[in-house]
Amino acid sequence: MQLVIGNKNYSSWSMRPWVLMRQLGLAFDEVKLRFDFAPDSPFRRAVARFSPAGRVPVLVDEGFAVWDTLAIAEYLHERFPDRGVWPAAAQDRARARSLAAEMHAGFGALRSRCPMNIEAALPEVGARLWAEHAELRADVARIETMWAQALAASGGPFLFGAFCAADAFYAPVCMRLRTYALPLLESTRRYVDRVSMLPGVAAWVADALAEQDFLDVDEPYRSHR
């Protein structure tokens, strides 16, 4: 299998299936494309070879392309049903999918105000955004409630006991919360730390830090000097 991704420092969508596959030991070859969203850019031409949607990530399995992170997770679950992509119990699977779908479709304020930027440390920006934007505070409150309920029901250490796709979907959220140092409950902070220490997440972060590729389009709060 091949997984086509964008810059690891910035691409939260790419991070989800990469961490999921790496953490579960699903072998794949990485195809990384440098973000460049100009019309007819090398990035756009390269992605078009894999997906008509023109976005990353894309999973390619023996020439068959699957795009969209939820579709990739479902494909992997069907391809490797015993590898723990989703929880074993039916109701746990349904709830895990609900949490992943909510991340997939929601939390617009967190996404737009706090884009993923693993290399950066922006606590002052985070404090300002937190003070100015009630919708950002509401997004984080919803995430904290959701995580607390799942962890209480499962007993932890991850949302449904063992690591699964739901944790992978929220790994970029953990990166955002760390970069912007947003105020968190202690239980939330502990979960963020556990996710950050996962070997799959740590490997992604190490690669992101090694990129040293500053992209102005993904840097709303810093200028490249």
What is this structure's pTM? 0.96
Sketch out the chain's domains with CATH numbers: 2-83 (3.40.30.10), 90-205 (1.20.1050.10)
Give the pLDDT confidence of 204-223 residue by residue, as tens digits. 999 999 999 999 999 999 99
- CA torsion 45-118-190-134 (nearest 10°) is -90
* Amino acid in position 175: M
Measure the CA–CA gap between 126 and 137, rounded to whole angstroms. Answer: 11
Measure the CA–CA gap between 136 and 150, rounded to whole angstroms. Answer: 21
Model confidence band, residue 195 (pLDDT cutoffs 50, 70, 90): very high
Give the pLDDT confidence of 60-74 residue by residue, as tens digits. 999 999 999 999 999
Q: If you write DSSP's letter for every residue of 175-213 in order, what string do you get?
A: HHHHHTT----HHHHHHHHHHHHSHHHHHHHHHHHHH--
Q: What number of other Cβ atoms are within 10 A of residue 60's Cβ?
A: 19
Report how many helices (DSSP H) and strands (DSSP E) the chain contains, helices first: 10, 4
Q: What percent of the chain has pLDDT over 90?
A: 97
Of the candidates 72, 137, 70, 129, the residue with the CA atom closest to the CA atom of residue 105: 70
The reported pLDDT for the residue numbered 101 is 97
Of the candidates 143, 167, 140, the residue with the CA atom closest to the CA atom of residue 154: 167
Whether 225 shows a pLDDT value over 80: the answer reads: no
Sign of CA dihedral 187, 189, 192, 198: negative
DSSP letter at 133 equals -
Mean pLDDT confidence for 29-34: 97
- Lookup: tokens for 153: 């029901």
Measure the CA–CA gap between 14 and 3, rounded to whole angstroms. Answer: 9
